[in-house]
Amino acid sequence: MKVLFLEPDRALADDIDIFMNKLRLKMNMKKIQSEEKIMNEGASLLDYSLFILNLKNPTDPSIMKFIRQRGNDAPILLILDKVANPRMLQTLYYLSYDDVIIKDFSPDEIAFRIYKLCHIWNDDTFCLAKDVCFDFKNALFIYKEDKIFLGRKEALFLKYLLAKSPHIVSSDEIVCYVYHNEVISQERIRSLVRQLRAKLLPFHLIETVKGEGYRIVNTKIEEEMDSTSSAIIKFCLPLLPVFADSCLYAAL
């Protein structure tokens, strides 16, 4: 995936580039420091799947018009240094940028915006092994003929773990992506993890990294389970939706 990244702060641009390429989808970021270089792109503008722009005058639509007139309808993420005048945001709204992010932001925050704009989050099916997959859209963990229904937050958490695998997901990231920056306790996060782990048995997919967070681990289903354990799990699977979140992925 090719990205044109206009950011005068070279160090910030490098940090974001490095962070993004540690995630699931590798990105080819062309980093530039001046708006004039966009004008020099010409026909090559069609090659980009995303534009990240920190403009001298964000309310001047000339750069956006230049990109659109060259035939590229890819999303434009606008970076603002800091908004002194609230009217600026209103003007930007009417200019129809695809998204706006205000400094100072964390790498996690801009990564989330980029993934959402580029519909990477719409890649909703994760195949873990033969006959094992996670269907995020329908909040289903599927093993052969068995379907485990997940709650909304469980599905969001599992999707982000899989999307970021093999890297660690911190508690701050969970608060951002799963709880949308709601003020919550660490115990509530641990409760979510315990609940999801219990539903995914006999798979042990979620590893706790002490002092850092959680991640997906490479694991195999416990084929050696005795027939009694298998029967119990098969009996319990249809009952799991009863204990799912009351909203049960309705907002997904």
Q: What is the pLDDT of residue 123?
A: 65
Q: What is the pLDDT of residue 241?
A: 42
**Spatial distance between the Cα atoms of 54 and 135, rounded to a whole number of angstroms:** 36
Q: What is the pLDDT of residue 166?
A: 78
User: What percent of the chain clears pLDDT 90, i.e. is strictly above it?
Assistant: 41
Q: What is the pLDDT of residue 24?
A: 66
Name the least confident of 5-9, 185-189, 214-218. 214-218
> With bands split at pLDDT 50, 70 and 90, how would you rate the model's confidence at 194?
very high
Give the containing element (helix H, strand E) for 89: helix 86-95
**Spatial distance between the Cα atoms of 109 and 129, rounded to a whole number of angstroms:** 30
pLDDT average, residue stretch 32-46: 89
Residues of the chain within CATH 1.10.10.10 domain(s) are 124-243
Q: Which residues contact 67 (CB under 8 A, 6 or more apart)?
A: 38, 45, 51, 74, 76
The superfamily in CATH containing domain 2-120 is: Response regulator (3.40.50.2300)
Q: What is the pLDDT of residue 117?
A: 84
Averaged pLDDT of the chain: 82
Does domain 124-243 bear CATH number 3.40.50.12160?
Answer: no
